[in-house]
Amino acid sequence: MKKQNDNKIRKTGLGARASRRISNTIIYIVLIIITIVWLFPFVGILLESFKTETNMQTPYLFPKEFGFDHYVKLFTKTDFLKWFGNTAIMGVATAVLQTIFILSMSYVLSRLRFKGRKALMNMMLILGMFPGFLTMILIYKVFADAHLIEEMAPLGLIIVYCASSAMGYYVSKGFFDTIPKSLDEAARVDGATRFQVFYKVIMPLSKPIVIYTILMGFMAPWGDFVLASYLIHENSQGMNVAVGMYEWLSRTNMNTHYTMFCAAGVIVAIPVVAVFLALQKYYVEGVTGGAVKG
């Protein structure tokens, strides 16, 4: 009887191990397929950018001849450097200003209790649900009157990115909520003003969320097309990379500019990837720290 039971247990054990191995294999195959599908466009763009051809009709993925012609052309024959500069300036300015606005708002909502606080938070939550481009016509009208379009569009765009940024207070407020209030109180008793509490105690403890906010602010202008194209028109001096490069994909330019487009895409990715890699450790901490504990 005992022997029979032992055999049964052993068989069940073997069966469980085998079925786990099979299910793991299936999971890994699916994951590998998803990874390939996900990586393909990035690898494709990188490889295309090194081709010497200019059109997108080449029937092979790997370049027959590697060349840097498109990269050279980008900086010598086009306004790409200007667009890149515009976007970088927008990225840095937005990162700095957004971080100040968002963190100040989050700290206030986390720490101070004032009349209308909850109503304000709810209102911002609801307003944040509306798509941004609903306000485009009005923004255009106001900015046109203020001469913040075309060549001056980058300045206008910085204002747009930053003006409503404080509405994205949730993640950082969640993070601040996890910092014990007694630290603020101890600092206030120790002689600190509210502002000193914020930058001498709370900020050093909030590195992850500061980094996260900087990253979000820096990355936003690199991918903005809809609002940017609306404010810039066709003024090359005011373009960001997305609007500038879009021209190269028009039906007439496609065959002559496609691979250069890919080269520009690779260059655009460099600062974003560099900043991201440098700060990624804190970024992950910031996202999870705020979300889970908050």
In the block, which residue shows the tokens 């028009």? 250
Among 27, 29, 142, 183, binds another protein (CB under 8 A): 183
By CB under 8 A, which span of 25-33, 55-63, 65-73, 182-190 interacts with another protein? 182-190
Burial annotation 246-278 (CB, 10 A radius, 16+ → b, else e): ebbeeeeeeeebbbbbbbbbbbbeebeeebeee
Among 139, 148, 155, 201, binds another protein (CB under 8 A): 201
Residue 165 C-beta: closest distance to another protein, Å = 26
Question: Going by C-beta distance under 8 Å and a sequence separation of 6 or more, which residues neighbour residue 240?
Answer: 83, 86, 87, 90, 154, 157, 221, 222, 224, 228, 232
DSSP summary character for residue 179: S
Nearer CB in complex with another protein: 146/183? 183
Among 15, 41, 128, 180, binds another protein (CB under 8 A): 180
Residue type at 141 in one-letter notation: K
Residue 189 C-beta: closest distance to another protein, Å = 5
Nearer CB in complex with another protein: 6/190? 190
Question: What kind and span of H or E run contains 216?
Answer: helix 207-223
**Interaction of residue 177 with another protein, rule CB under 8 A:** no
8 A C-beta contact, residue 84 and residue 266: no
**Interaction of residue 111 with another protein, rule CB under 8 A:** no
**Interaction of residue 285 with another protein, rule CB under 8 A:** no
**Interaction of residue 186 with another protein, rule CB under 8 A:** yes
Nearer CB in complex with another protein: 24/196? 196
Measured CA to CA, the distance from residue 72 to residue 59 in angstroms comes to 24
By CB under 8 A, which span of 87-95, 133-141, 201-209, 216-224 interacts with another protein? 201-209
Residue 184 C-beta: closest distance to another protein, Å = 9
By CB under 8 A, which span of 57-65, 144-152, 162-170, 196-204 interacts with another protein? 196-204
Residue type at 49 in one-letter notation: S
Residue 186 C-beta: closest distance to another protein, Å = 4
**Interaction of residue 190 with another protein, rule CB under 8 A:** yes
Neighbours of 294 (CB within 10 A): 15
By CB under 8 A, which span of 43-51, 92-100, 140-148, 198-206 interacts with another protein? 198-206
Residue type at 89 in one-letter notation: I
Restricting to residues 203-262, name those near another protein by CB under 8 A: 204-205
DSSP summary character for residue 161: H
Question: Going by C-beta distance under 8 Å and a sequence separation of 6 or more, which residues neighbour residue 1?
Answer: none
SS (H, E, C) 236-291: HHHCCHHHHHHHHHCCCCHHHHHHHHHHHHHHHHHHHHHHHHHHHHHHHHHHHHHH
Site size toward another protein, by CB under 8 A: 17
Nearer CB in complex with another protein: 167/205? 205
Distance of CA 170 to the CA centre of its chain: 16
Binding site for another protein (CB under 8 A): 180, 182-183, 185-193, 196, 200-201, 204-205
